[in-house]
Amino acid sequence: MPNKIQGQVGFPAQAPADAIYNVGPGCLFATIQAAIDQAVADGYTTAANPALVQVAPGAYAENVAFKPGVNVVGLASAGQACVITGNCTYSHSAGGTRNDNTISVNNLVFRSSAGITMLVAGTSPLQITFTGCSLEKNSGGDTDFIYSITNTGGGSRVRFNQGCVLTHNVAASVAMNLARGTTEFRQRNTAVLNNSGGTMTAAAVLTNSAALRVWGCDLWCSGAYTNNIDIQGAGAVVDLLHTWLQNSLAGGNAILFTAAGTARLKWTLVGVNADLSGYIAKGAAGTFIYSACIFLLPNDQVQNTLTIQTENTAVTPVA
């Protein structure tokens, strides 16, 4: 049922243009997944030949599997959000390059109580860019992740751009599981918040050569965390550039190294409570590199078992 043929027949809110699929009251599609599946069936399967799914404000109780070639935008307005209540995925294992499998997702709220709110998986290289999105775990829900990447495609990338917020409302949780690939928080006003009212294990855990780049966030990570960032993988790397990292837990650490890894901080403010007895960086196997940073810590800053380096070279965002 090609969209261009069935476009407006009986559905006045459905745009007649090719490659545009509207979802919501009065539209051809009642669910986001139905619109995505139809776009794929109509042949929109790569970034070079994309479709656009436009979602009207409202609540959508469904699990959504995003697909290459299909971008999704919420038509949110003041006081009216586009909320997906369920578990969402972007998984691709059918080949192609990252450029082929690149999609954007804008102005949506992802919310779940059980399971992973947003999972990026598969074996093919891909990219998904979130802008103006909120990822949440409901209060009273389980301790699973808000966001997890296990995709093994070489060069895969997930970007959280301006206006994104990841909020976990369950204590003793890890907000982000970065088991593979690269996650980037590239713009201001992107945050990972602990609103659980209790202590969370970590904002991000990095394993298996994962990488995390945080660029230009006024308040990236805030709340009571045992460790803001837990670097476990042999090649895991975290870059915090022009960023503010805040841990309000007495005795917690900003960065924990439990295996070989590297943390680089440049023009970054690390703020903690005055009674914090933890470290800016703690561990034995990792390398801690910093330049032009401000550490607000009343006692030891970096554990002396770490390799410590200073860096004076300029740093630019990754393209």
Write the pLDDT tens digit of every residue in 166-181. Answer: 999 899 999 999 999 8
What's the chain's length in residues?
319
Is residue 257 domain-resident?
A: yes
Is residue 199 domain-resident?
A: yes
Tokens 């800016």, located at residue? 280
- CA nearest neighbour of 227 among 173, 180, 186, 290: 173
Is residue 69 domain-resident?
A: no
66 backbone dihedrals φ, ψ, rounded to 5°: -75, 150
Query: Stretch 4-14: mean pLDDT, rounded?
Result: 46
Q: Domain of 138: which CATH number?
A: 2.160.20
- Which pLDDT score, from 0 to 100, does residue 315 have? 52
Query: Stretch 28-37: mean pLDDT, rounded?
Result: 97
pLDDT higher than 90, residue 146: yes
Number of domains the chain contains: 1
Is residue 283 domain-resident?
A: yes
- Which pLDDT score, from 0 to 100, does residue 15 have? 46
Is residue 268 domain-resident?
A: yes
Q: pLDDT, tens digit, for every residue of 229-262?
A: 999 988 899 998 888 888 887 778 889 998 888 9
Is residue 153 domain-resident?
A: yes
Lowest-confidence pick of 6-20, 204-218, 280-294: 6-20
pLDDT higher than 70, residue 299: no
- Which pLDDT score, from 0 to 100, does residue 122 have? 97
pTM above 0.85? yes
- Which pLDDT score, from 0 to 100, does residue 78 have? 78
Gyration radius of the chain over CA positions = 21
3 backbone dihedrals φ, ψ, rounded to 5°: -60, -35
Domain limits for position 130: 86-310
- Angstrom distance (rounded) from CA 12 to CA 9: 7
- CA nearest neighbour of 171 among 137, 143, 203, 135: 143
Amino acid at 19: A
- Which pLDDT score, from 0 to 100, does residue 272 have? 63
